[in-house]
């Protein structure tokens, strides 16, 4: 009798009674963030043999990352974190396919999340967490969050039902974020990149907890998941750990579950194409809703430069609200909905700054459908 390489490689973990290597090998996971947590998350996913892992991060490796990131080496500085991490993890376990995506997670668009069984985050900012949370929630995907600061850390699981990440935020948290968001269009230099104190051991422990829960979900043993709607909190000084349940907020804006999805763009070149098709096949659309604000920037009133553009707020280039010629403030307009006679309806998608595959909601008098809109330019 001969054993395949995969069988012997995974022998010890397969002795865990509920383990299912086949399901892990068939799983697709998106890891958001390729920093200290992302390195440890991807390392664990590759070691246990999760078949397909995509890791997304727009940042490049800095010298100070080397002390916390197991896959980064001297000489990697300046290279994209996601690319280096994916390559190294691919070598760690050739039975896994790990891809690096160098972009913001928002650039993927919510429709892309349907390609994955699970999303695991190693993020350092609330904006990206909010985006992941809302997109996973409406598409019925579970996501796992982790955070570290100093010797403290937390890990938590947000399934499509029950309390979500947004439920855990206070009004003051939202106020701080909306201030940062409105600044983002104007002064990128003001956005201080998060330089919180962290170290390798805390990252390793928190990522370990995140992936432990991920494995249970991926092999279909939801009954074993301990952190659904709950947080595992580690105080690294005292080594005290606790589990606390979150309370669901009935008024939470993120609790929007989408039933009718149309993931085929049918070759549409503008929103009006989609509206026409829906009119013939589904019903008469009356309004469009965007889950991410759409920003229209006008031409520069001060110097007359042609600066007009349109796009989703989360993927607009930083500083898009300021004239590149005279540095004057540009007129901007933000909208979350359109009527069918809006001039934007006929603007070709290629002229939009838009995520790769993002749903747009069409509303008729009595129903709604979410149609994928293909990516425009990258800004």
List interacting residues with Zn ion (CB under 5 A): 164, 166-167, 252, 254, 300, 302-303, 305, 323, 325-326, 328
Q: Which is nearer to Zn ion, 57 or 166 (CB)?
A: 166
Any idea which residue has 């994955």 for tokens?
A: 116
Q: Which is nearer to Zn ion, 224 or 326 (CB)?
A: 326
- We find the least distance from the C-beta atom of residue 57 to Zn ion, in angstroms, to be 26
- We find the least distance from the C-beta atom of residue 227 to Zn ion, in angstroms, to be 16
- We find the least distance from the C-beta atom of residue 252 to Zn ion, in angstroms, to be 3
Cα–Cα dist 183/190, whole Å: 8
Q: Write the secondary structure of 152-179 as one string of H (helix), E (strand) and C (coil).
A: EEEEEEECCCCCCCHHHCCHHHHHHHHH
Provide the phi-psi class of 378: left if phi over 0, else alpha when psi is between -120 and 50, else beta: alpha
Cα 38–chain centre separation: 13
Q: Which is nearer to Zn ion, 331 or 348 (CB)?
A: 331
Q: Which is nearer to Zn ion, 167 or 295 (CB)?
A: 167
Cα 186–chain centre separation: 23
Do 137 and 160 form a contact (C-beta atoms < 8 A)? yes
Q: Which is nearer to Zn ion, 191 or 326 (CB)?
A: 326
Sign of CA dihedral 153, 181, 334, 376: negative
- We find the least distance from the C-beta atom of residue 164 to Zn ion, in angstroms, to be 3
Q: Which is nearer to Zn ion, 114 or 305 (CB)?
A: 305
- We find the least distance from the C-beta atom of residue 304 to Zn ion, in angstroms, to be 7
First to last CA, the chain: 58
- We find the least distance from the C-beta atom of residue 89 to Zn ion, in angstroms, to be 32
Residues 6+ apart with CB under 8 A from 126: 169, 173, 177
Q: Phi, psi at residue 253, to the nearest 5°?
A: -75, -15
């Amino acid at each position: 009798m001969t054993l395949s390489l995969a069988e012997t490689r995974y022998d010890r973990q397969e002795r865990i009674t509920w383990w299912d290597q086949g399901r892990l090998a068939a799983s697709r996971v998106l890891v958001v963030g390729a920093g200290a947590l992302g390195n440890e998350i991807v390392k664990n996913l590759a070691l246990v043999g999760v078949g397909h892992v995509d890791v997304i991060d727009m940042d490049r490796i800095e010298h100070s990352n080397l002390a916390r990131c197991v896959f980064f080496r001297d000489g990697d500085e300046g290279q994209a974190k996601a690319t280096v991490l994916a390559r190294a993890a691919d070598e760690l376990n050739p039975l896994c396919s790990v891809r690096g995506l160098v972009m913001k997670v928002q650039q993927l668009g919510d429709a892309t999340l349907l390609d994955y069984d699970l999303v695991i985050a190693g993020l350092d900012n609330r904006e990206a967490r909010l985006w992941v949370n809302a997109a996973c929630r409406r598409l019925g995907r579970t996501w796992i969050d982790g955070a570290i600061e100093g010797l403290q850390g937390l890990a938590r699981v947000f399934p499509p039902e029950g309390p979500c990440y947004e439920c855990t935020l206070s009004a003051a948290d939202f106020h701080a974020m909306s201030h940062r968001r409105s600044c983002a269009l104007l002064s990128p230099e003001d956005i201080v990149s998060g330089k919180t104190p962290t170290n390798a051991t805390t990252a390793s422990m928190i990522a370990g907890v995140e992936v432990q829960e991920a494995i249970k979900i991926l092999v279909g043993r939801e009954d074993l998941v301990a952190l659904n709607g709950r947080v595992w909190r580690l105080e690294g000084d005292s080594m005290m750990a606790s589990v606390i349940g979150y309370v669901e907020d009935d008024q939470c804006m993120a609790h929007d579950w989408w039933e009718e999805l149309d993931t085929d763009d049918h070759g549409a070149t503008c929103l009006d194409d989609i509206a026409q098709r829906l009119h013939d096949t589904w019903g008469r659309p009356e309004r469009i809703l965007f889950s991410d604000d759409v920003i229209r920037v006008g031409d520069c009133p001060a110097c007359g430069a042609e600066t007009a553009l349109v796009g989703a707020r989360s993927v607009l280039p930083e500083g898009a609200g300021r004239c590149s010629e005279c540095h004057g403030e540009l007129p901007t307009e933000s909208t979350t909905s359109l009527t069918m006679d809006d001039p934007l309806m006929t603007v070709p998608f290629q002229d939009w700054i838009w995520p790769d595959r993002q749903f747009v909601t069409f509303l008729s008098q009595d129903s709604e459908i979410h149609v994928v809109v293909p990516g425009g330019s990258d800004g």
